[in-house]
Amino acid sequence: MFELLKTDSATQARLGKLTTAHGVVDTPVYMPVGTQASVKALDPRELNEIGTQIILGNTYHLNLRPGLEVMRAAGGLHQFMNWHKPILTDSGGFQVFSLAKIRKVKEHGVEFRSHLDGSLLFIGPKESMEIQRELGSDIAMVFDECPPHDAPAKEQRLAVERTIRWARECREQPRADGQKVFGIVQGGNNPALREQCAKALVEMEFDGYAIGGVSVGEPEPEMLQAIEMSVPHLPAHKARYAMGLGTPAQMLELIARGVDMFDCVLPTRVARNGTAYTRRGAIGIKGGGYKADFRPIEEDCDCFACKYFTRAYLRHLLKANEILGLRMLSVHNSHMYLKVMADARAHLAAGTFAEFYREFIANFKPSEKILAHRKKHPVKE
C-alpha cells in the first residue's frame, strides 16, 4: 500500500507513494477537508484543477446527515459527491468528544447527544467501522478517544487504554472492498503513553498510522513534541498521518520530522474571514491598504484567482459580502497548500529539501489573528 521511495539525508522527510482503491497518492500530501461531503466553497472540478489527490470526509457528520440510508442508496460517498479519487474518512471519535452536547463513555463506545437535535446516539468501534464501510472510503480511521490537550494524567492514560482496546475491535470489523485502516496514536504530551499506544498499534499491523491529539488548542512547541514522541515508534514502511493541522510552515516542520499526510480546515476557514495565505505568510485582504492594489494575491501563483483577479477586486467582493470573494480565496489558499506539498516532493526527489524547508520557514510569518483563531477554534469543520 505505501512505498517509501526516498528519505532526505539532512532531515527525516520522506518521499513516498500510497496506493488506494481509487488511485495512487504521492506523499507528502495535503488532504482538503470535506467534512460534510463537500470541501467548503469548492467543487470537484476546482479540486481537480488545483491538484487535489485525496480528500477527507467525516463519519460523525455524515452519519447524522444525510445518514446511512441515503448514502447506501447513492452508492457510497464517492458517487454521492461525484469525487472519484481517494477519500479518507475520520472515525468520528474526535467529533464525539468535542461536539457532542452530553456523552457517556462505555466499554464499547460512547453514548452521546447529537449536536444537531439532541437525539441520543451511540458510536463505538463496530458502529464507526460500519459507517465507514457504507461510505466506501479508501482509508478508514479507527475509533479513538481524543481528550483535551490539558486533560489530567489519569484521563490521558484511560484514553490511551480505550484507544488501544477500540483499535483492536476496529481491526476485527469487516471492510469495504479495498478499504485500508489506519490506527491512531494518542497519549497527549506524555512520552511513555505515546510510546505505549504506538507500539500496541504497530503490533496490530494496521495499514498506516495517524498521530492524534495534536492541534487541539495546545501551544505549537507541545504539538511538535507530541509528533516527535510518536514518530520513532512507527514503522518506516507505513504511511504516517498527522491529524488536523496546520499552517503551511507547520506542515513542513512535520514533514522534516517524518510525517507524510496532513489535513486541515484552515485554507477554507480563514478564506471565509478574508485571509489569504502566501509564501511569506497570511494577509488580510479586507485591509484598507488593498483597496487599490491591482496585483494578484501572490505574484507567482498560477491559481485561477491569481490569474484573473486582483487584491482590490477580491477586497471589494469581500466587503460587499459577495460569495465569489470567499470562493476565490478558498481556491487560492487550497492551491497554495497543495503547491507547498508538490514543491516539497520535488525537492525531496532532487535532494534539496533541507534548503527549501529552511528558506520557507524563515520567510513565512503567520498572522497573530490566525494563531489566535486556531487556539480558540481547534474543532474541525
**What residues of the chain score a pLDDT lower than 70?**
367-381
Closest to 234 (Cα-Cα) out of 266, 265, 258, 268: 258
Whole-angstrom distance, CA of residue 94 vs CA of residue 380: 9
Which grid cell is 160? 490511551
Closest to 54 (Cα-Cα) out of 167, 119, 177, 139: 139
Model confidence pLDDT, tens digit, residues 262-288: 999 999 999 999 999 999 999 999 999
Mean pLDDT of the chain: 95
Whole-angstrom distance, CA of residue 72 vs CA of residue 377: 33
pLDDT, residue 167, reads 98
**Which residues are registered as beta bridge partners of 26?**
17
Is 170 within 8 Å of 142 (Cβ atoms)? yes
Helical (H) or strand (E) element with 333? helix 323-350
Q: How many CB atoms lie within 10 A of CB 67?
A: 11
Listed in order, the ranges of the chain carrying CATH 3.20.20.105 are 2-264
- 3-class SS at 367? coil
Model confidence pLDDT, tens digit, residues 200-254: 999 999 999 999 999 888 999 999 999 999 999 999 999 999 999 999 999 999 9
pLDDT, residue 380, reads 45
pLDDT, residue 376, reads 54
DSSP per position, 155-220:
HHHHHHHHHHHHHHHHHHS---TT-EEEEEE--TT-HHHHHHHHHHHHHTT-SEEEE-S-SSS--H
Is 212 within 8 Å of 172 (Cβ atoms)? no
- 2-264 fold: TIM Barrel (3.20.20)
pLDDT, residue 98, reads 84
Active site residues: 90, 263
